Amino acid sequence: MAAAVFHQVIGTPHSSLHHEFRENTLRLNSNNFRLEIGVSRRVCHRSDQRNFCVVKASTSQTSVFDPVSSPSTNNTNNSKKKSNETALILMRHGESLWNEKNLFTGCVDVPLTKKGVEEAIEAGKRISNIPVDMIYTSALIRAQMTAMLAMTQHRRRKVPIIIHNESEQARTWSEIFSEDTKKQSIPVIAAWQLNERMYGELQGLNKQETADRYGKEQVHEWRRSYDIPPPNGESLEMCAERAVAYFKDQIEPQLLSGKNVMIAAHGNSLRSIIMYLDKLTSQEVISLELSTGIPMLYIFKEGKFIRRGSPVAPTEAGVYAYTRGLAQYRQKLDEMFH
């Protein structure tokens, strides 16, 4: 059930939009759709499957021209400055070489396949009109490759720059001195806490051969139970402890301060974060399946996370109908690059 809801598409280019305006109308045009949003208005979406309405969308603090900034270590100060609306994008990495071979990967550092590269590029097209101010990835190359490849497709054309905070020397050596360059860059923070869960003695084993050896029920229990780890490995519960703690401590304060954030990580670390965002139970989260290379969008507003699904394509109108801030950002991009 949770998986079905999670992958629900949030609109199609053929859906009809009806608008009632009172004042301060914003009109957004592109080759494939026209979207009009007012400061004080009622917007209804009708399709064969469902209806939804948005009333009195609030103004976002998002700016196309925000410069890059490193994450603050003072979370208290960050949390005092709350933005009206920010975007959170979650993205599982594209297919890896061991995904292709049906091997348990876990924390082994395996790169993407050609298909995985294509998935990352396609994911980037889907988020090309959504603001991104900061990127968080795991310490594993498949997640970092996915983030970098996805951002090559973003219309803002900013360059992802990995921030090195390992030591004072690392920070000094990686410093950017050009203010113009900083404005055209996005900081990338790599954190081991966002790694895939560690599969212990299963890492590198073929999944089918492992099932034949230990039995399907035992392997299914290791893979899909919440609190039972594989031999010398992590359970989903153990993975959630580190991933959610890192999200609360490092990422959520950035959203509170007005930053739009993308996280490129792994099936289990992202399931753990989604469990926190959507308040899922331990039984609901074990049935949650995430496809490789499919971005998911959340709106963070007034301290709450609102799931919006996955943008279907760069021309998708539905996602921009949810908030005035996203529509304004899309309009600014159109003005800058057309």
Answer yes or no: is 325 a known binding residue: no
173 is in an annotated binding site: no
The first and second tokens of residue 219, run together, are 């392997």
Output the CA torsion sign for 221, 223, 224, 225.
positive
CA distance 296 to 90: 5
Strand residues in 47-85 grouped as ranges (E): 51-55
Question: Going along the chain, which residue ranges are E strands?
Answer: 16-29, 34-46, 51-55, 86-92, 134-137, 159-162, 185-190, 261-265, 295-301, 304-309
Region class of 280: left (phi > 0), else alpha (psi between -120 and 50), else beta: beta
Coil, helix or strand at residue 212: helix
Which residue stretches of 188-292 are H helix? 207-214, 216-224, 236-246, 252-256, 267-278, 282-285
Q: Is 36 annotated as a binding residue?
A: no
168 among annotated binding-site residues: no
DSSP line for 37-49:
EEEEEEEEEE-SS
> 122 among the known binding-site residues?
no
Please indicate if the annotation marks 293 as binding a ligand.
Answer: no
Active site residue 196: yes
224 in a labelled binding site: yes
- Residue 331 and residue 17: Cα distance in Å, rounded? 18
Is 241 assigned a catalytic role? no
Catalytic residue among 93, 119, 154, 266: 93
Q: Is 215 annotated as a binding residue?
A: no
226-255 burial code (b ≥16 CB/10 A, e <16): beebbeebbbbbbbbebbbebbeebbbbbb
3-state helix, strand, coil in the chain (%, to 5): 40, 20, 40
Is 196 annotated for ligand binding? Answer: yes
The answer on whether 338 is annotated among ligand-binding residues is no
For residues 227 and 216, give the distance between their C-alpha atoms in angstroms, rounded to a whole number: 18
Ligand-binding site membership of 164 (annotated): no
With CA atoms as reference, report the closest residue to 248 among 283, 280, 272. 272
105 annotated ligand-binding residue: yes
Q: Which of 45, 119, 154, 196 is catalytic?
A: 196
User: Is there a binding annotation on residue 24?
Assistant: no
> Is 97 annotated as ligand-binding?
yes
**Residue 199 assigned to a binding site:** yes
Tell me: is residue 198 an annotated ligand-binding position: yes
> Residues marked as binding?
92-99, 105-106, 142, 196-199, 207, 223-224, 267-268
> Residues marked as binding for substrate?
92-99, 105-106, 142, 196-199, 207, 223-224, 267-268
Instruction: Give catalytic residue positions.
Output: 93, 196
